[in-house]
A = this chain, B = another copy of it.
Amino acid sequence: METTAYVRSLCEAACAAKAPLAAASTKVKNAVLTSIAALLVEHTPEIIAANADDLAHAEENGVPAPMLDRLKLDGKRIASIADSLRELVLLEDPIGSGSRVTRPNGLIIEHIRVPLGVVAIIYEARPNVTVDAAALCIKTGNACILRGGKEAIATNRALTALMRQALEENRLPADGVCLIDNTTRESSTALMKMRGLVDLLVPRGGAGLIRSVVENATVPVIETGAGNCHLYVDATADLPMAVNVAINAKMSRPSVCNAIETLLVHEDMAAKFLPMFRDALNGRALEIRGDEKVCEILTDAHPAAESDWETEYDDYILAVKVVSGVDEAIAHINRYNTKHSECIMTRSMENAARFQREIDAAAVYVNASTRFTDGGEFGFGAELGISTQKLHARGPMGLDALTTGKYLITGDGQVR
Q: Which residues of A contact B (CB under 8 A)?
A: 19, 22-23, 101, 103, 107, 109, 116-117, 199-200, 220, 222, 238, 241, 244-245, 247-249, 252, 352, 356-358, 360-369, 371-373, 377-379, 389-395, 404-416
Contacts and interface: CB of A to CB of B under 8 A. Distances in A.
Nearest to A390: B404
B244 A415 contact: yes
A234 to B, nearest CB: 14
B410 A405 contact: no
25 contacts: A109-B378, A222-B391, A238-B413, A241-B412, A245-B414, A247-B415, A248-B415, A252-B415, A362-B405, A362-B407, A364-B406, A365-B409, A367-B410, A368-B409, A368-B410, A368-B411, A368-B415, A369-B415, A371-B416, A373-B407, A390-B404, A391-B392, A391-B404, A394-B404, A394-B405
A346 B405 CA distance: 24
A414 B372 contact: yes
A186 to B, nearest CB: 24
Q: Which of A199, A238, A391 has the most CB of B within 10 A?
A: A391
Contacts of A220: 389-391
A222 B391 CA distance: 9
A404 B395 CA distance: 11
Contacts of A414: 245, 367-369, 372
A239 to B, nearest CB: 11
Contact of A406 (B392, B394, B406): B394
Contacts of A117: 360, 390
Contacts of A109: 378-379
Contacts of A199: 390
B369 A416 contact: yes
Given A200-B390, A245-B415, A368-B410, 8 more contacts: A22-B357, A101-B379, A116-B390, A222-B391, A366-B410, A371-B415, A394-B404, A395-B407
Contacts of A360: 117
A409 B248 contact: no
B245 A379 contact: no
Contacts of A364: 406-409
A314 B19 CA distance: 31
B390 A103 contact: no
Given A389-B220, A390-B220, A411 B367 contact: yes
Q: Which of A199, A361, A389, A411 has the most CB of B within 10 A?
A: A411
Nearest to A218: B214
